[in-house]
A and B are shown apart, each in its own frame.
Chain A
């Protein structure tokens, strides 16, 4: 498989590879897996597990995927299960939704979620609402996936974050993985879910390796949708993020730790249904909240978290107003210096933490 191939590149020479399943010579070891390979594994495993699952999108088959997420799958599963589409988002998204209504379990890839805007009617009006309108008679077990948000130097039309747009709509589930475990576990959970799931990946994370536990390497490993994960425990401030900014938060946390500030970093994992309880419990402990996201500030994920914290029990535990760190409120510019300053950076998170802690 592709994962094994990538693995060989990552393991330093002279070190034994962990033995194959079933023949343990030493204690089970975690391995380094890139997000790309984790997604590839998830697709492979789910295609094998359920013959109703199929993948369609632009370049997913013979090109091995625009970002190589589906590498090797067409060769293994053929034309019936891995389908190259023409450049017709509205058309092929509608076709995927119709196939789901008729009992298949499609994975519909958008080359980037920017192109999903052309098909957004099919995602919302056909996929999200049909189960409700039909009083449960017509479920739509479909996954829409692809890279979301800012990349590097791709400018305004290719850099938008859709977490707030899709997170707004009842009937959808929206997930946003950060690590390889997130990616694999959430994709598997999404494919097995009987409802329409929007999976917002991140192009800049595809090549990043993460440690993957033995448990996560199992074919049955799923990450439950709707549950956040505490990536780092802390006592002074709660940092809540999703997708790539989770990494920035952890970086900020390790820098702040040297100054004696212990940050609790929460990886949301799911945008809808949002696990606000984990955030509330954390805020009750730390009394300070900073949300971090790549998308624009107005009506964003951070705005939703702040509103819910205000409405819930955690409000009484806040020692300072909740603070948001977001993308700059402009279409994404191209020049590197401009682009860099439109994305929340580690320094921006640190600044926000210090502001809210008044240090």
Chain B
């Protein structure tokens, strides 16, 4: 029993028990402490906190009812129950919490003017990127728009490299050349700044998947605002014609910048906008819903049936970007209501605790570890040096012999190097 807890009990007793019992307890406590003191060093060094329960007491898994999906041109949808193992739950929790804290840290750094330019935060939408990632394989492909930090992390880029990219340092995942909207890693194609342009790109990646025949799929994400872009409808047409293994995913967070969906779209049934393409509308605040729907969609595509559309109903707590307070077009009450009733992390946490998959303390431990990771990453991101000036000319081309690049005047020249 931790020292703190014991002393707490003694303290409590002092108010309710007679003096002689009090004295007895104090002596007993002293004895135990002396006995334990030789182990205190060990406990403190290894930071072992003995939980009130043994790990063997937790359930291995639990089954949950999840909200059924609305279906478009589909006879059957994803299952309405989901099994969550303890291990999965802890992993989803940690990942979502990491993304949450990373985004809040970005908010802080932006207000300190250490992050510049555009910064579109993902807090509130964590269940989407985590649910999607755990439903697909690392060999599958993902492309999204500019609200991309969560996906960048989910696809494997460490927090420190994301934050360092935001602060424009050489340790950033793309050496400070891209910034918030242009982060990339294996099988993750960004991070795209032009609204809607990533959708044809995603179908092109899906075309390559089909061409190479390796049974991979491409998740192609866009928002409710982008859903009205013409090029998306051109892409729906070609993806359906050529049966591309493309999962079109609309992250409907109810607002395209400052415009609500009702003011932007004649039809807000984004899962039906693919018309001849089957669609699913999914509760995007529930990581299990997202996971099951994505598994269903991936299976559909891998079976060679062609593309499918998923609409994830989700919500962003921040405004469109850091220059938008996010309250001129929606009420604080609305934001607060979503936070209190539908927060994806809270939802998962409650499920796990109520079903004996984890303890409060255990999840708190994870919170502490996450905070530490974010702090260290932020420390790195604020102390790592900016890229050297020589980097300015690099990577214009790929696999090209070095050549000269013109600077602001004819006498300033930079060398351009590229990978081979």
**Which residues of A does B touch, CB under 8 Å?**
54, 80, 83, 85-86, 88, 90-104, 121-122, 125-126, 130-141, 170-171, 173, 194-195, 273, 311
Contact = CB atoms under 8 A, between A and B. Distances in A.
A88 to B, nearest CB: 4
13 contacts: A85-B238, A90-B200, A91-B200, A94-B204, A98-B204, A98-B207, A102-B205, A102-B207, A102-B218, A134-B184, A135-B175, A195-B397, A195-B400
A140 B218 CA distance: 18
A132 B235 contact: no
**Which of A97, A104, A133: most chain B Cβ within 10 A?**
A133
Interface residues of B, number: 49
Nearest to A137: B184
Contacts of A194: 397-400
Nearest to B177: A135
B336 interface: no
Contacts, number: 150
Interface of B: 141, 143, 174-175, 177-178, 182, 184-185, 189-190, 192-194, 197, 199-209, 211-212, 218, 230-231, 234-235, 237-238, 241-242, 394-400, 403, 405, 410, 418-419
Given A136-B398, A136-B418, A94 B177 contact: no
A94 B410 CA distance: 35
A97 B194 CA distance: 14
B174 A91 contact: no
A88 B231 CA distance: 8
B241 A86 contact: yes
Given A135-B395, A170-B396, A94 B205 contact: no
A125 B194 contact: yes
A265 to B, nearest CB: 26
Most buried by A among B182, B192, B202, B397: B397
Contacts of A93: 200
Given A194-B399, A195-B397, A137 B174 contact: yes
A99 B241 contact: no
B203 A98 contact: yes
Given A90-B200, A91-B234, A94-B197, A131 B396 contact: yes
Contacts of B238: 85-86, 88, 91-92, 95
A92 B204 CA distance: 8
Contact of A91 (B178, B237, B418): B237
A140 B396 CA distance: 11
A34 to B, nearest CB: 32
Contacts of A195: 397-400
Contact of B237 (A83, A88, A98, A171): A88
A323 to B, nearest CB: 22
Contacts of A103: 208, 212
B35 to A, nearest CB: 58
Contacts of A98: 143, 189, 200-208
A313 B212 CA distance: 51
Given A126-B197, A137-B174, A99 B398 contact: no
Q: Give 9 nearest A-B pairs by CB, closest first.
A: A98-B204, A94-B200, A91-B234, A139-B398, A102-B208, A98-B201, A88-B234, A95-B204, A99-B204
Given A98-B202, A132-B177, A137-B185, A90 B230 contact: yes
B178 A133 contact: yes
Contact of A171 (B204, B207, B242, B397): B397
Contacts of A102: 141, 189, 204-205, 207-209, 218
A171 B418 CA distance: 12
Given A86-B238, A125-B193, A134-B184, A94 B201 contact: yes
Given A90-B234, A131-B395, A95 B207 contact: yes
Nearest to A83: B242
Contact of A131 (B205, B207, B398): B398
B204 A135 contact: no
A80 B207 CA distance: 10
Given A94-B197, A95-B235, A133-B184, 13 more contacts: A83-B242, A90-B231, A91-B203, A102-B208, A102-B209, A103-B212, A104-B211, A125-B194, A133-B174, A134-B174, A135-B174, A140-B398, A194-B397
Contact of A135 (B200, B241, B394): B394
B410 A138 contact: no
A101 B211 CA distance: 13
A101 B201 contact: yes
Given A100-B204, A194-B398, A125 B174 contact: no
A9 B200 CA distance: 43
B119 to A, nearest CB: 16
Contacts of B234: 86, 88, 90-92
Contacts of A131: 395-398, 418
A44 B395 CA distance: 31
Contacts of A92: 200, 234, 238
A170 B143 CA distance: 24
B200 to A, nearest CB: 2
Contacts of B211: 54, 80, 99, 104
Contacts of B410: 311
Contacts of B141: 102
A85 B204 CA distance: 13
Given A102-B141, A125-B193, A134 B208 contact: no
Contacts of A135: 174-175, 177-178, 394-395
